[in-house]
Chains A and B, each alone.
Chain A
């Protein structure tokens, strides 16, 4: 069984400030971890993913995340927020097989103020 917990349904930052979106997971098997972004009335776009190998993964739009097994965490960061980063962000976990389904967290809305 898998689950994802995203701390904070809303996170507010100023433009240029550090973005930190928290994600903790539980999984009975070695996990694959994902961050997706969703803009209003649109589907999901993959920001980055961790499968195996390097625990610090870099994604699109300057985002990165670090897999910390000991903390069962996969927090998403960006050094400097941009207005265009305002969106809903979902953390997801799956098992490490081609048959695994994604389990999503409840999402975090990122608000960016000028």
Chain B
């Protein structure tokens, strides 16, 4: 299958700072990227969907000003957690899907964010 690389795998930051997480599709063009958040021992909750060159579509309850998503190219999307708080600590996972009609989305390895 196609490869999606997510970086960093772990990050610890201080409260009030911002953290950027990158998601790259290494061997295909990702027209759509998805960002999920996963709490311990729980399922993945979709945060937002982004299409290359367009503004992201956020799920209800997700603060768009806090979780900034950029999908400027067909191989890179970024999630920036702004003014991080301890309650933002979580596991964040991206996935990427290729051209329309392709049913499979490929997942990155995830990023463990800890805000202290």
CB contacts under 8 Å to A, within B38-94, are: 41-44, 46, 49, 91, 93
User: Which residues in B have some Cβ–Cβ distance to A below 8 Å?
Assistant: 1, 4, 6, 9, 32, 34, 41-44, 46, 49, 91, 93, 95, 97, 99-110, 112
Asked whether, in the complex, the Cβ of B112 is within 8 Å of the Cβ of A41, the reply is yes
Which listed residue, B43, B102, B110, touches A43 by the CB 8 Å rule? B110
Contact status A51-B43, CB under 8 Å: no
Residues 33 to 60 of chain A near chain B (Cβ within 8 Å) = 36, 41-46, 49, 51
Residues of chain B with a CB closer than 8 A to A41's CB: 9, 91, 110, 112
Give the interface of A toward B (CB within 8 A). 32, 36, 41-46, 49, 51, 90, 94, 96, 98-99, 101-107, 109
- Check if A98 sits within 8 Å of B93, measured CB to CB: no
- How many A-B residue pairs have C-beta atoms within 8 angstroms? Tell me: 56
**Is B110 in contact with A46, judged by CB distance below 8 angstroms?**
no
Nearest chain A CB to B31 CB, angstrom units: 9
| Whole-angstrom distance between the Cβ of A54 and the nearest chain B Cβ | 15
Q: Which residues of A contact B104 (CB under 8 A)?
A: 46, 49
Known: A41-B112, A43-B6. A98 touches B42 (CB 8 A): no
Q: Is the CB of A44 within 8 A of B103?
A: no
Question: In the complex, given contacts A44-B44, A98-B99, what are 12 additional A-B residue pairs having Cβ atoms less than 8 angstroms apart?
Answer: A42-B110, A44-B107, A45-B107, A46-B1, A46-B104, A94-B103, A96-B103, A99-B32, A101-B49, A104-B43, A106-B42, A107-B43
A96–B103 Cα gap in the complex (Å)? 8
Interface centre among A32, A96, A102, A109 (most CB of B within 10 A): A102
Q: A98 contacts B103, CB within 8 Å?
A: yes
Which of B9, B42, B95, B101 is A107 in contact with, Cβ under 8 Å? B42
Using CB atoms, name the residue of chain B closest to A60: B1
Q: Which residues of B contact A51 (CB under 8 A)?
A: 103
Q: Indicate if the CB atoms of A101 and B34 lie closer than 8 Å.
A: yes
Hey, which chain B residues are within 8 Å of A101, CB to CB?
34, 46, 49
Q: In the complex, what residues of B have CB within 8 A of residue A49's CB?
A: 103-104
The residue of chain A having its C-beta at the shortest distance from the C-beta of B57 within the complex is A101
